[in-house]
């Protein structure tokens, strides 16, 4: 959910998040959410908050009691919510998660606004986030500079006199640019074969559209989007001063180069197989893959002179990259670099750039009518660039030790439920069972915020230099990542900031992570009965835990190594059970005639189902000695399922749904509810549904 709409080609394989909309940054998949200026509520609500507004974990008003839960549980649970929550005009879609995220943003706005105004007595982190925010909000100063902040970089590119100089320049550009949009991505990560080691990863990238499929699909809508993308590149280059005929020629050559790179890239489904992304090479082998790119010069440029161990996630991509660099003219390479430079910097430039960037990436690609107000974009940028400084302020105000303790207890209970489940699985041999339990017991629980906060003391943030602040923060983060190579592994790191309304599992670290932002009402509501909290947050915890054992996660062992711990027979049993889920979801429609690509959503669908089952077991155990009573006309069992369903209430614009169908590993909210309960006998019982009704599946799926 970064406002930097850079492309995401290499969705981090090992982090699997809960979020339900398209990931827009490279680390993981938070969601695009915002609120509207044309929404009647906006003028009243568009003010900084001093405290987080309360929304109940189960809201009867959000239900549609006229619907039959045995026909459509999602409509029954969310019909009211959908009716009273139209999509705000600055959003590609709207959801319970999105709304909480916006509440969080307004609360963070209050914190930042205060730190920007009251400069006395601030500590070092408060100075940084306060002044970053102030500089970001200073639109007149930003406007006055226009494209000025880019000038030194454009001069550098224009000054290239030979392709031989490219590796050194690209190294510099990579350090100051987020993501993998500039030809390829280069970062540090744990070695799949030995998770105690951090090595360099050379990843595929280089595209400006959100997925390689946008370049390859032949349907009229995709062809039309490509034309609009080319026109967007032309206009952005026009803003840099290029004449229309020059910009047209440049855009054509950029599109040709990106298309060739897209053709050589793996699909999202292929990238879910870690074996397809693990190719360990030494420097000579890396150089042999792309003889025309001087890796020694590149490595020197990014400060990694002595590296000799790399994972080249997609070797075929690097062969094509080399071919492109060999055959393209120097002028074409310069055009490509200029385009990606202005593209990645657009959010930090004057309104003309911001609006043109919005026009293609939000309006055209996602159907969003209106640009988000400045404050939202600035709050998001602070979270993106100085997230653990802002996160400390957020945690101090919202996440009490009691909240931490309660959610930690719930996590332990869900893990106990999974242990009991594994111990009694009928389809697993004692040998694999033993390994599964070892892995489960090794899962690290990270709740709320990191034990050790990131140290931003070396990042200089000044009040009158927005683009300079952004660049220094990006370079800090790039170097911080690369500096991990060859050092002892830090198991305490987080990939999401504390205010984030999302959660993830990381199979290399074998840990589950729940930022404080996802443990707030209505998702975790201390005022609610256990039924609702176990149905919602309990299922989220179960979801992340199950990721360790989905089709992707199960290939990593307790230590996070890519190592098969299954007997052949048990592996086959797992695959047959997972196939039941794949077949089920492949029938569901996302939008128009586009169905779910259920090989892409397989891991998330398995995690959703496992999560809800584990939450049920943990809830029943937690309340076994209690007399549970009906509330709001719902039995405790019904409250569990409605409480669960209400996390997923959402509305999405058709354009966003089309994008999600290609890029999002999560199924649409409706199926993240209905697709589960059809498989759960306890649901049928809770609502007395009859055999043959839509929410009762004849041949139920169950993996975990
Ligand atoms: Zn997930």
From the list 198, 205, 208, 200, the residue with the least C-alpha distance to 295 is 200
From the list 589, 699, 682, 649, the residue with the least C-alpha distance to 80 is 649
570 C-alpha vs ligand 1 centroid, how far in Å? 23
CB 200 within 8 A of CB 311: yes
665 C-alpha vs ligand 1 centroid, how far in Å? 8
pLDDT at residue number 54: 96
Residues pairing with 666 in the sheet: none
* Angle of CA points 351, 185, 467, to nearest 5°: 30
13 C-alpha vs ligand 1 centroid, how far in Å? 12
List of residues 6+ apart from 509 with CB closer than 8 A: 14, 190, 195, 444, 491, 493, 560
CB 466 within 8 A of CB 472: no
Task: Dump pLDDT digits (tens) for 587-606.
Answer: 999 999 999 999 999 999 99
CB 175 within 8 A of CB 478: yes
Q: Is 179 left (phi over 0), alpha (psi -120 to 50) or beta?
A: left
504 C-alpha vs ligand 1 centroid, how far in Å? 6
175 C-alpha vs ligand 1 centroid, how far in Å? 30
Q: Tell whether the model's pLDDT for residue 13 goes beyond 60.
A: no
Both tokens of 27, joined, read: 């680390």
* Angle of CA points 160, 165, 169, to nearest 5°: 80
19 C-alpha vs ligand 1 centroid, how far in Å? 7
pLDDT at residue number 16: 57
Both tokens of 67, joined, read: 């619907």
14 C-alpha vs ligand 1 centroid, how far in Å? 11
678 C-alpha vs ligand 1 centroid, how far in Å? 20
List of residues 6+ apart from 670 with CB closer than 8 A: 74, 648
514 C-alpha vs ligand 1 centroid, how far in Å? 12
540 C-alpha vs ligand 1 centroid, how far in Å? 9
More confident residue, 427 or 18: 427
Coil, helix or strand for 704?
Answer: coil
Q: Tell whether the model's pLDDT for residue 558 goes beyond 70.
A: yes
B/e letters for 259-297, b = 16+ CB within 10 Å, e = fewer, are bbbbebbbbbeebbebeebbbebeeeebeebbebbbbeb
129 C-alpha vs ligand 1 centroid, how far in Å? 30
Q: Tell whether the model's pLDDT for residue 40 goes beyond 60.
A: no
pLDDT at residue number 18: 65
42 C-alpha vs ligand 1 centroid, how far in Å? 31
Q: Tell whether the model's pLDDT for residue 144 goes beyond 50.
A: yes
Task: Dump pLDDT digits (tens) for 462-492.
Answer: 999 999 999 999 999 999 999 999 998 999 9
Compute the distance between CA of residue 141 and CA of residue 576 in angstroms, rounded to an integer: 60
366 C-alpha vs ligand 1 centroid, how far in Å? 22
Compute the distance between CA of residue 26 and CA of residue 186 in angstroms, rounded to an integer: 12
75 C-alpha vs ligand 1 centroid, how far in Å? 23
53 C-alpha vs ligand 1 centroid, how far in Å? 27
451 C-alpha vs ligand 1 centroid, how far in Å? 23
CA distances to 50, 492, 560, 565 from 489, in Å: 39, 9, 12, 23
Q: Tell whether the model's pLDDT for residue 306 goes beyond 90.
A: no
Both tokens of 629, joined, read: 């009573």
Task: Dump pLDDT digits (tens) for 601-634.
Answer: 999 999 999 999 999 999 999 999 999 999 999 9
Query: Which pTM value belongs to this model?
Result: 0.94
CB 87 within 8 A of CB 93: yes
Compute the distance between CA of residue 362 and CA of residue 542 in angstroms, rounded to an integer: 33
Mean pLDDT of 525-532: 96
CB 114 within 8 A of CB 97: no
Task: Dump pLDDT digits (tens) for 94-127.
Answer: 999 999 999 999 999 999 999 999 999 999 999 9
197 C-alpha vs ligand 1 centroid, how far in Å? 25
Going 249 to 251 to 252 to 258, the CA torsion angle's sign is positive
29 C-alpha vs ligand 1 centroid, how far in Å? 9
């Amino acid at each position: 959910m970064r406002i930097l709409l850079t492309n995401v080609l290499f969705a981090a394989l090992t982090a699997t998040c809960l979020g339900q909309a398209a990931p827009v940054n490279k680390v993981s998949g938070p969601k695009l959410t915002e609120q509207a200026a044309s929404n009647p509520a906006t003028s009243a609500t568009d003010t900084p908050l001093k405290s987080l507004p309360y929304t109940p974990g189960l809201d009867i008003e959000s239900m549609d009691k006229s619907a039959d839960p045995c026909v459509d549980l999602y409509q029954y649970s969310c019909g009211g919510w959908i009716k009273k929550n139209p999509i705000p005009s600055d959003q590609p879609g709207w959801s319970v998660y999105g709304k909480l995220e916006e509440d969080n943003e307004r609360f963070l706005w209050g914190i930042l606004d205060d730190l920007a105004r009251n400069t006395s007595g601030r500590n070092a982190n408060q100075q940084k986030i306060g002044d970053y925010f102030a500089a970001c909000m200073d639109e007149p100063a930003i406007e006055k500079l226009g494209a000025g902040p880019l000038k030194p970089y454009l001069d550098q590119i224009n000054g290239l006199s030979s392709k031989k100089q490219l590796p050194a320049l690209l190294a510099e550009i990579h350090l100051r640019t987020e993501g993998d949009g500039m030809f390829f991505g280069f970062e540090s990560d744990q070695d799949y074969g030995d998770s105690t080691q951090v090595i360099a990863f050379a990843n595929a990238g280089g595209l400006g559209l959100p997925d390689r499929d946008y370049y390859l699909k032949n349907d009229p809508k995709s062809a039309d989007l490509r034309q609009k993308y080319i026109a967007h590149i032309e206009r952005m280059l026009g803003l840099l001063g290029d004449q229309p005929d020059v910009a047209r020629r440049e855009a054509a050559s950029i599109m040709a180069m990106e298309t060739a790179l897209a053709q050589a890239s793996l699909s999202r489904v292929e990238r879910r197989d870690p074996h397809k992304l693990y190719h360990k090479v030494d420097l000579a082998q890396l150089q042999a893959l792309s003889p025309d790119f001087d890796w020694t010069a590149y490595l020197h440029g990014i400060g990694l002179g002595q590296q000799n161990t790399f994972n080249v996630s997609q070797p075929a991509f690097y062969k094509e990259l080399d071919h492109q660099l060999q055959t393209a003219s120097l002028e074409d390479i310069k055009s490509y670099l200029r385009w990606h430079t202005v593209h990645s910097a657009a959010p930090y430039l004057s309104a003309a750039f911001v609006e043109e960037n919005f026009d293609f990436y939000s309006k055209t690609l996602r159907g969003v009518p209106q640009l988000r107000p400045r404050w939202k974009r600035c709050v998001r940028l602070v979270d993106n660039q100085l997230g653990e400084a802002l996160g400390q302020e957020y945690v101090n105000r919202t996440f009490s030790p009691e909240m931490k303790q309660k959610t930690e207890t719930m996590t332990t209970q869900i893990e106990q439920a999974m242990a009991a489940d594994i111990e009694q699985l009928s389809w697993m041999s004692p040998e694999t069972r033993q390994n599964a339990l070892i892995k489960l017991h090794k899962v690290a629980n990270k709740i709320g915020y990191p034990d050790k906060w990131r140290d931003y003391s070396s990042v200089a943030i000044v009040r009158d230099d927005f683009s300079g602040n952004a660049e220094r923060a990006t370079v800090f983060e790039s170097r911080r990542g690369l500096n991990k190579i060859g050092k002892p592994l830090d198991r305490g790191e987080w990939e999401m900031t504390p205010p984030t309304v999302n959660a993830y599992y990381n199979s290399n670290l074998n840990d589950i992570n729940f930022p404080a932002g996802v443990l707030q009402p209505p998702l975790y509501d201390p005022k609610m009965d256990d039924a609702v909290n176990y149905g919602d947050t309990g299922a989220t915890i179960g979801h992340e835990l199950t990721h360790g054992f989905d089709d992707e996660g199960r290939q990593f062992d307790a230590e996070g190594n890519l190592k098969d711990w299954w007997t052949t027979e048990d592996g086959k049993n797992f695959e047959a059970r997972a196939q039941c889920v794949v077949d089920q979801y492949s029938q569901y429609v996302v939008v128009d005639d586009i169905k779910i690509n259920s090989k892409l959503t397989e891991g998330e669908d398995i995690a959703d189902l496992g999560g809800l089952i584990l939450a049920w077991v943990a809830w029943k155990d937690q309340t076994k000695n209690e007399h549970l009573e009906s509330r709001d006309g719902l039995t405790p069992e019904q409250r569990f399922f409605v409480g669960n369903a209400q996390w997923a209430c959402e509305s999405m614009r058709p354009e966003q749904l089309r994008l999600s169908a290609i890029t999002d590993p999560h199924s649409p909210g409706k199926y993240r509810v209905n697709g589960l309960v059809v498989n759960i006998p306890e649901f049928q019982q809770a609502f007395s549904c009859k055999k043959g009704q839509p929410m009762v599946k004849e041949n139920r799926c169950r993996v975990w």
